[in-house]
Amino acid sequence: MRTDSLIDIAKAVAGREASAEKIALQALRKVEEYDAVQPQAWIARCGAIEVLAQAREVDARIAAGESLALPGVPFAVKDNIDVAGMPTSAACPTFSYRAEQSAVVVERLRAAGAILLGKTNLDQFATGLTGTRSPYGIPGCVYNREYVAGGSSSGSAVLVGAGVVPLALGSDTAGSGRVPAAFNHLVGLKPTRGRWSTRGLVPACRSLDCVSAFTRTAAEAIAVDRVLTAYDAEDPYSRRVASNASLGAAFRLGVPLEAQLSFSDAETRGLFAAALERVQSLGGMVHRIDIQPLLECGQLLYEGPWLAERALAIESMLASRSSALHPVVRAIVQAGCGIGATEAFRGLHSLKSHARAAQAIWERVDVLLVPTTTQIHRIAEVLADPFTLNSQLGRYTNFVNLLDFSALAVPAGFRTNRTPFGVTLMGPAWADDALLELAMRLEHTRPLEPAPPLDRHAHPSGTLLAVVGAHLSGMPLHWQLSARGARFIERTRTAATYRLYALSESAPPKPALVHTSQGGNAIEVELYELDPPALGDFLCEVPPPLAIGTVHLHDGRMVRGFVAEPRALEGALDITASGGWRAYMAGRGSFS
């Protein structure tokens, strides 16, 4: 049995060849192992006791003769999807709330016997296609971590791509369930709008949002779709499934005009040509299609009135706590605040025209094949140019939900730099079954070359920096590190020669770490690695009376880190006994 295969796990547990508890223990070990590589893929995790309790409940249900679709299958969910009893942050600690009820998709997976491991990282408020806009860190492509993992569902894709879980839920408004699939060699299912309930999903653009799923194969995506496809009368955007014909042995395959395929290099162009040949071999009769109306429609998402819908989704945050937003996300969403009704109706009229043009396309073809993206960028490149490079990734994704298409991202090979390339199969609304069947045929008849080994090696050395307070992962100023490409190394503690103080009248709240000759304690810190130019730039952000000095760690190492001038202690509260800023703030009931 392959422990990264959803199908194998479900069969083994259902047939009582393996217990769900055994699978859960293996999954917990995988989580621990991959934490040494990319802990930033997670935002919150279920404790081991809770995970094993879920597994034992599944085993008891199987023993009682219950038939379950996904027994023992470990899964994770993007942290804009509610799980009862767990915080939902949407990658914004100040926004975070504890969910009283799980999202419908989570409830349905749990009812099918799947075992939840935790919540995954994302571009804040699902605004981005790179995975670089989170205070919880920046996950990288699992095969080459110098490159972005794709967003906004970055953590979900990374954990499936790395084999930690066989299934993770994301969301998709502009491509967030497809771009990360392409960048991590996965299948990314973006169902027809309303096919899966979105009740319990923090909205990005509520009228366009879909919950999405990442798996390793199309057969696994089919198994998930069978569990999650259901009408939800309490979700006003839920729709009853309409029938759609299968493709048959021969089908009409739409491909964009050559001039509309803008590849970053000849190698990527060759990978798309190879993917087209594979689909043709299954009976696809190629029709070149002018997709200019689709590309123009895609511009409405971030250059038109749908920005106002994004602003509406986080209206209270923009009104009273906008400083807590990631600066790139804030700049994008605030642009929607000034859009009025006239502009909104102009956008709706424009969308109707584009939809009519799209309908004409479906009269000519059954399936449209496009690159998911034609390029992938290094993390450092995106941080240097966060708007332009992110926008490039949405060229073939932004129009899909606006035009009510179904879409399935599938792997299509690797570049020589070990970054994956993927293509997307698109159809009209409710063509999901046909796309999944085509993808499964593609996997069985023309399998791809084996994937290269995962990237588990450290990046070239930079300078280690110890952070102790508001720059910790999940804290309000962590973005100042993530925006400079800081790489998480480890969570550790200082030597027992420090005292920690909560500064008075500091916004956001910050501590002061002070070396002492007596009465000290070991204080929790996080170590990050920054390249020299990034560290120099970061130093300009450090306000007095804080400073960067030398911090002694408990194992004898000395690293750069946050310290404080003596004047910082005026009116400060001694919180040394807490053992660290995170524990102190948790005791106060706030991370804001």
Q: Which of 134, 152, 171, 578 is catalytic?
A: 152
Instruction: Give percent of the chain above pLDDT 90.
Output: 81
- Nearest-10 crossing angle of helices 218-228, 432-445: 160
- Identify the CATH number of the domain defined by range 6-232+258-289+365-445: 3.90.1300.10
78 catalytic per annotation: yes
Are 6-232+258-289+365-445 and 463-588 in the same CATH fold?
Answer: no
pLDDT higher than 60, residue 32: yes
Q: Which of 19, 96, 171, 176 is catalytic?
A: 176
- Banded pLDDT at 461 (limits 50, 70, 90): low
Instruction: For residue 164, give both structure tokens.
Output: 């930690």
Give the closest residue to 325 by CA, choosing from 483, 469, 172.
483
Tell me the pLDDT tens digit for each residue of 510-555: 999 999 878 889 999 999 988 888 888 898 889 889 999 999 988 7
Q: How many CB atoms lie within 10 A of CB 550?
A: 11
- Identify the CATH number of the domain defined by range 463-588: 3.10.490.10
Instruction: Give percent of the chain above pLDDT 70.
Output: 99
Show me where the domains of the chain are located: 6-232+258-289+365-445, 463-588
Long-range contact pairs involving 563-572 (C-beta distance under 8 Å, separation at least 24)? 563/512, 563/513, 563/514, 563/515, 564/501, 564/512, 564/513, 564/514, 566/514, 568/501, 568/503, 568/512, 568/514, 569/501, 569/512, 569/514, 570/504, 571/504, 571/505, 572/501, 572/502, 572/503, 572/504, 572/512
- Banded pLDDT at 460 (limits 50, 70, 90): low
Give the closest residue to 312 by CA, choosing from 131, 125, 170.
125
Average pLDDT over residues 57-75: 98
391 catalytic per annotation: no
Q: Which of 19, 30, 78, 197 is catalytic?
A: 78
Q: What average pLDDT does the chain have? A: 94
